[in-house]
Amino acid sequence: MKKILIIGYVWPEPDSSAAGRHMMSILRLYIRQNWQVEFATPSQPTEHMINLKNEGISSQSIKLNCNSFDSYITKYQPDIVMFDRFMMEEQFGWRVEKNCPDAIKILDTEDLQCLRNARHHAHKTGCEFTKSILFNDIAKREIAAILRCDFSLIISSFEMELLINTFNIDASLLHYLPFMIDLKTCPTKTRPFSSRKHFVTIGNFRHAPNWDAVLYLQKIWPLIKKQLPDVELHIYGSYPPPKATALNNPETGFLIKGWAENAFLEIEKSRVLLAPIRFGAGIKGKLIDAMIMQTPSITTSIGSEGMFQHEAWPGTITDDLTEFVSAAVKLYSNETTWLKAQKLAHILLNSRYDSHQHGARLIDKIINIEKNLEQHRLNNFTGAMLKHHSMMSTKYMSQWISEKNTKTKNN
């Protein structure tokens, strides 16, 4: 039985975030292989974290900058270690290398943090998104983590192309893994047009692109409301801060609903999902959820980025505010237009998000690398170079902090 260790940035919250759901789909794939799976994280427990024990997954709390991790992983001796985002590879990767050098190291990027950060910066400052903004300090750290690992999971086809063509990463170090949807569990029939009402949007309020989308909807909503006076916008998301709840306005139908006990049900009850995403990275779980519940959506080029290729979008994609409003009104009001968009959701899901296909490809990738691990690593000289002691600033910083904490405790 293979032993796999996942070092998580946070405890998985599949009902709160797309990242949490994506993580659980990967963990469940590993469980289906009859592998022993353990999830370890330095993060504190959270309100909406999943009960991993019920999934057959053991869990462990670990500490940052602490030699106790060395003892822990030496005892566990995993065959595979998967890091959840590059920050966890920075913190624990060198310790894995020291104590379990033969373990396959996988980086789950979730989305490219450097891309999201660069776009956020460009959006805030109003400047053009350029390569100089993309090649920031986070990019240097994130790309280094990708190179140090045996391969990395990339959720977006756009990010795959960016890493290969712009950052010149060898394709053998990357593996495309979008959201894995079990198509057999998707409903074949949902509420009809006549039984649906209102617009909906959803997203964790702690995620900056989601919060920005809510602020942008404040500008968009009055223009929609003017043409559809009896309609409401229902805004769902976990961890709404006071600044978000303060926006709740029953008079205008701009309603901050907060946590959704069943996000799929709320999306199914609504006629159209709005996702005016102005910056970010990866692919958007809310848009996948809309497809699953056969709810047409209106989003932006960044919102839909990496989610389709030749397929038609089940709704409308536009970066123009006026067009966004016009599309929202038409899709909400015209049943024929709505039905045409709805039918496209099933086609796109089947084309790009089949969990059985993507899961099998990931397992094949792991098995093939395991068979040829020595040669695979020899082919990645840059990764080996980054593990040289002269390049290991994160290792020595962590050791310094650990030693400092030990002396402080003893004194």
Predicted confidence (pLDDT) per residue in 324-339, tens digit: 999 999 999 999 999 9
Alpha helices by DSSP H, 77-229 = 86-99, 113-125, 131-134, 137-148, 157-165, 208-227
pLDDT surpassing 90 at residue 397: no
Q: What is the pLDDT of residues 290-318, one digit of tens each?
A: 999 999 999 999 999 999 999 999 999 99
| pLDDT tier at 410, thresholds 50, 70, 90 | confident
Task: Express as a percent the part of the chain with pLDDT over 70.
Answer: 99
What is the share, in percent, of the chain residues with pLDDT greater than 90?
91
Domains present along the chain, CATH in parentheses: 3-180+355-410 (3.40.50.2000), 184-352 (3.40.50.2000)
d(CA 260, CA 311): 30
Instruction: Output the pLDDT for position 59.
Output: 97
Mean pLDDT value across residues 9-30: 95
pLDDT at residue 411 in the model: 66
pLDDT digits (tens, 9 = 90+) for 380-395: 999 999 987 766 777 7
Q: Which amino acid is at 192?
A: P
Condensed to tens digits (0 to 9), the pLDDT of residues 337-368 reads: 999 999 999 999 999 999 999 999 999 999 99
Query: Which pLDDT does position 404 carry in this prediction?
Result: 78
C-alpha–C-alpha distance, residues 207 and 174, integer Å: 25
Beta-strand ranges (E) seen in 231-314 are 233-236, 254-258, 272-275, 297-299
Residue 120 has phi, psi (to 5 degrees) of: -60, -45
Greater pLDDT, 405 or 54: 54
pLDDT higher than 90, residue 203: yes
CB 267 within 8 A of CB 236: no
| 239-243 average pLDDT score | 94
The per-residue pLDDT for 26 is 98
pLDDT of residue 401: 82
Q: Is 92 in contact with 66 (CB distance < 8 Å)?
A: no
Instruction: Give residue 406's pLDDT band: very low, low, confident or very high (50, 70, 90).
Output: confident
**Burial zone of 149 (CB within 10 Å; 0-12 exposed, 13-18 middle, 19+ buried):** buried
pLDDT at 75 over 80: yes
Evaluate if residue 374 carries a pLDDT over 90.
Answer: yes
Model-wide pTM > 0.75? yes
pLDDT at 133 over 70: yes
Mean pLDDT computed over 84-95: 96
Q: Is 180 exposed, middle or buried (0-12, 13-18, 19+ CB in 10 A)?
A: buried
Placement of tokens 């084309």 in the chain: 351
